[in-house]
């Protein structure tokens, strides 16, 4: 993406870098098809499936995100069919592309020529082998897409300050806007980029570039604006109100949870290593390097992006460790500078091979340890087994209550209000509930006890199952992958019969 004559991309060093990134991308792709799984991605896949079926986010079903990722996944479903494997493969490839863009930046721009390959390899490994990147950059949620978009926006912004034209500034804004239109976790990227561009601009009109950037940001939000024009109350609730006021409902320990998450880097070898090296790199650039203003500014931009993303993500209630993966590319660039400084001080200034190998060993051990410890976690094969059971025991067109994954795999459209399981904690009623497509927990319990659903699939704890009296309301039950499936509803007028396990 960047070609300013500062590095030769035609030689063996660049071929080696591309080979390493290709291996990392192949590993991400393999993991995406075998073990990658997150419970929350079921809702995202179901939303994409609903969009493909002609449903509109917010207007036809409750949706608590910005919608671009749902449209993105739906588009790929049109091409390759409704499979989680497609969404995973695209996410893994985009994550690999983000790794390449990050590594290529250092190969082109690292101020020490003999360390360009070493720095590029170091950041490729630090990003491509990061535990959270591997586990969550390969699933159907927006992480992989957002990683690619924000790194690409960063690369274009760095170029735009040196060019008179407006295309680069507008494209940078469009990519940053697309990231925010896919996940509001990246909303802080666009303001940081445009302020940095205005401050460091060296060619062309600042005002014109600002206008081009803002126009670019607006383009990915056009679908959302169209939906807002058709249903302002529903869109405002899904994008703003739900995330500000309702995410932590029935989560009494959300604040303490956030504190635990923000301190969890201490117990994570990858986060600790990346953070320490990034801090060392930032200190080196600020106080010990003799790099010129332009070179330092580009690295400072990485620091500002990481800081803004970190603060913004930390304000989410609740927040989660996986959200912080969006910082990794920018911290990785700073960490490469930190690795260089440590190697120069402790080893040799012109021999990057051994420090990069040492980093590779540490990252490999940390990744292998985490993946081994998580080997027994849920995977898509478990959910597929549950879905097959549900499909066998549920007659066509009958009402099914299930997790989002099961609706997606069985290709059964959920009843209105059942598209997002978390929305049941909202105690809305009447016209508002119908308008927002929300079924409260109280109303859902009433429907279950009234025998509305022909089949119920639940991975909730046994206590919840007992509270609803499911074993008295259904004649058949089965345990599949630690989840329960109830079917063969007992008519309310007959006596309760203990269900048989099958």
Strands 474-480 and 500-501: parallel
Q: Could you tell me if residue 1 is inside a domain?
A: no
Q: Could you tell me if residue 488 is inside a domain?
A: yes
Same domain, 317 and 388: no
Same domain, 366 and 387: no
What is the model's pLDDT at position 318? Answer: 86
Same domain, 150 and 182: yes
Same domain, 340 and 454: no
Phi, psi of 438 (to 5 degrees): -120, 130
pLDDT tens, per residue, the chain with 502 residues:
444 445 678 889 999 999 999 999 999 999 999 999 999 999 999 999 999 999 999 999 999 999 999 999 999 999 999 999 999 999 999 999 999 999 999 999 999 999 999 999 999 999 999 999 999 999 999 999 999 999 999 999 999 999 999 999 999 999 999 999 999 999 999 999 999 999 999 988 999 999 999 999 999 999 999 999 999 999 999 999 998 887 776 666 767 877 888 888 787 888 899 999 999 999 999 999 889 888 999 999 999 999 999 999 998 878 889 999 999 999 999 999 999 999 988 887 778 889 999 999 999 999 999 999 988 888 999 999 999 999 999 999 899 999 999 999 999 999 999 999 888 888 888 899 999 999 998 999 999 988 899 999 988 766 677 778 888 889 999 999 889 999 999 887 654 444 555 5
Same domain, 331 and 408: no
Task: Provide the β-strand partners of residue 487.
Answer: 476
What is the model's pLDDT at position 463? Answer: 63
Count of CB atoms within 10 A of residue 312's CB? 19
Q: Which residues contact 403 (CB under 8 A, 6 or more apart)?
A: 42, 383, 421, 457, 458, 459, 483
What is the per-residue DSSP string for 344-404? Answer: HHHT-TT--HHHHHHHHHHHHHHHHHHHHHTTTS--HHHHHHHHHHHHHHS-TT--EE--H
Q: Could you tell me if residue 217 is inside a domain?
A: yes
Q: How far is CA 353 from CA 18, 114, 338, in A?
A: 17, 11, 15
* Residue finishing a domain among 373, 408, 436: 373
Residue 238: give the domain boundaries.
12-373
Q: How many domains does the chain have?
A: 2
Give the predicted TM-score (pTM) of the model. 0.92
Q: Could you tell me if residue 2 is inside a domain?
A: no
Biggest CA pair distance of the chain: 85
What is the model's pLDDT at position 204? Answer: 86
What is the model's pLDDT at position 1? Answer: 40
Q: Could you tell me if residue 6 is inside a domain?
A: no
* Residue finishing a domain among 373, 397, 418: 373
């Amino acid at each position: 993406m960047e070609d300013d004559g500062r590095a030769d991309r035609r030689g063996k060093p660049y071929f080696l870098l591309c080979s390493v990134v290709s291996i990392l991308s192949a590993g991400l792709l393999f993991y995406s098809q075998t073990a990658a799984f997150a419970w929350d991605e079921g809702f995202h896949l179901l939303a994409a499936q609903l969009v493909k079926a002609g449903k509109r986010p917010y207007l036809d079903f409750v949706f608590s995100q910005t919608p671009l990722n749902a449209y993105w996944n739906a588009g790929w479903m049109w091409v390759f069919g409704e499979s989680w494997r497609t969404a995973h493969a695209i996410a893994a490839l985009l994550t690999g592309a983000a790794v390449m863009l990050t590594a290529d930046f250092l190969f082109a721009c690292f101020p020490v020529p003999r360390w360009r390959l070493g720095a590029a390899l170091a950041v490729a490994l630090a990003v491509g082998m990061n535990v959270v990147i591997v586990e969550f950059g390969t699933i159907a949620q927006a992480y992989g897409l957002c990683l690619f978009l924000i790194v690409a926006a960063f690369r274009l912004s760095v170029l735009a300050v040196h060019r008179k034209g407006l295309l680069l500034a507008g494209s940078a804004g469009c990519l940053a806007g697309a990231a925010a239109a896919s996940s509001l976790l990246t909303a802080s990227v666009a303001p940081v980029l445009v302020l940095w561009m205005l401050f460091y601009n060296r060619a062309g009109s600042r005002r014109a570039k600002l206008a081009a950037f803002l126009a670019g940001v607006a383009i990915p939000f056009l679908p959302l604006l169209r939906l807002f024009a058709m249903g302002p109350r529903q869109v405002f609730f899904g994008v703003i109100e739900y995330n500000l006021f309702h995410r932590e409902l029935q989560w009494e320990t959300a604040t303490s949870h956030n504190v635990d998450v923000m301190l969890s880097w201490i117990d994570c070898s990858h986060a600790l290593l990346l953070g320490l090296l990034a801090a060392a790199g930032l200190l080196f650039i600020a106080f010990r390097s003799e790099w010129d203003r332009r070179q330092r500014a580009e690295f400072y931009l990485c620091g500002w992006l990481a800081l803004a993303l970190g603060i913004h993500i930390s304000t989410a209630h609740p927040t989660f460790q996986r959200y912080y993966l969006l910082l990794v590319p920018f911290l990785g660039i700073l960490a490469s500078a930190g690795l260089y400084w440590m190697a120069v001080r402790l080893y040799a200034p012109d021999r990057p091979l051994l420090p990069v190998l040492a980093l590779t060993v540490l990252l490999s051990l940390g990744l292998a340890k985490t993946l081994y410890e998580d080997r027994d976690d849920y995977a898509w094969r478990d959910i597929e087994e549950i879905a097959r059971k549900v499909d066998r025991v549920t007659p066509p067109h009958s009402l099914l209550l299930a997790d989002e994954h099961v609706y997606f795999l069985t290709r059964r459209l959920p009843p209105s209000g059942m598209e997002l399981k978390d929305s049941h904690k909202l105690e809305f009623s009447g016209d508002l509930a119908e308008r927002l497509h929300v079924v409260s927990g109280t109303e859902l319990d009433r429907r279950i006890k009234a025998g509305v659903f022909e089949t119920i699939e639940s991975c909730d704890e046994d206590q919840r199952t007992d509270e609803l009296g499911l074993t008295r309301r259904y004649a058949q039950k089965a345990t599949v992958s630690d989840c329960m499936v109830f079917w063969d509803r007992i008519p309310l007028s007959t006596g309760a019969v203990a269900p048989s396990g099958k």
